């Protein structure tokens, strides 16, 4: 799966911080467009070659192949900017979740947040809990990345709470 991509920043305000997790897009969307264009041209050239020698039924299947590949690339491109951003600042913990262009924001009180880390074999699930609400975080990371996120978030929340209580 993807390697861990966690961006950690300390904010100007009183011991605030920001953690951002994102998908590991090894190929940017622009490169995927060029790959699709190259693949489509190659497929059309092969299809036209077969049609030239009399195997014209290859052309509709070649068109379906290119359409299926374009659909897969479009779905991939919609999710290339997906991320989760956890910001703790001024007594509020905001979790911003971006998924396929939609943004949802969840707010928690950082002093009352509890991290719930569950392990099932090699898999790790992280939940942020407070007042009966739970939100799963770290969806874009592999199991070691989620473990790293849980440790980093727990340490940062502890330092934030200690800084506030001092």
At 166 the pLDDT is: 56
At 81 the pLDDT is: 82
At 165 the pLDDT is: 61
Do residues 10 and 91 share a domain?
A: yes
At 24 the pLDDT is: 77
Which residues in the chain come in under a pLDDT of 70? 1-4, 12-15, 164-166
Separation between Cα atoms, residue 150 and residue 129, nearest integer Å: 13
Do residues 87 and 74 share a domain?
A: no
Domain hosting 160: range is: 6-25+81-165
Q: How many domains does the structure of the chain reveal?
A: 2
Q: Are 96 and 75 in contact (CB under 8 A)?
A: no
At 2 the pLDDT is: 45
Q: Are 124 and 145 in contact (CB under 8 A)?
A: no
What is the domain-level CATH number for residue 16? 2.30.29
Do residues 55 and 19 share a domain?
A: no
Q: Please tell me the pTM assigned to this model.
A: 0.74
At 87 the pLDDT is: 92
At 71 the pLDDT is: 94
Give the C-alpha distances (Å, rounded to integers) separating 151 from 1, 92, 101, 156: 20, 20, 28, 9
Q: Are 128 and 134 in contact (CB under 8 A)?
A: yes
């Amino acid at each position: 799966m993807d390697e861990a991509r966690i961006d950690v920043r300390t904010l100007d305000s009183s011991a605030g911080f920001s953690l951002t997790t994102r998908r590991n897009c090894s190929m940017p969307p622009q490169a995927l467009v060029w790959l699709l264009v190259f693949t489509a041209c190659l497929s059309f050239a092969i299809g036209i070659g077969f049609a030239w020698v009399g195997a014209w039924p290859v052309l509709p299947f070649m068109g379906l192949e290119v359409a299926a590949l374009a659909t897969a690339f479009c779905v991939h491109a919609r999710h290339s900017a997906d991320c989760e951003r956890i910001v703790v600042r001024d007594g509020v913990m905001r979790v911003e979740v971006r998924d396929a262009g939609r943004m949802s924001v969840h707010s928690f009180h950082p002093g009352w947040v509890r991290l719930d880390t569950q392990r099932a074999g090699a898999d790790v699930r992280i939940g942020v809990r407070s007042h009966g609400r739970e939100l799963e975080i770290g969806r874009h990371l592999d199991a070691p990345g989620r473990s790293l996120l849980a440790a980093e978030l727990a340490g940062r929340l502890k330092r934030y709470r200690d800084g506030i209580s001092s």
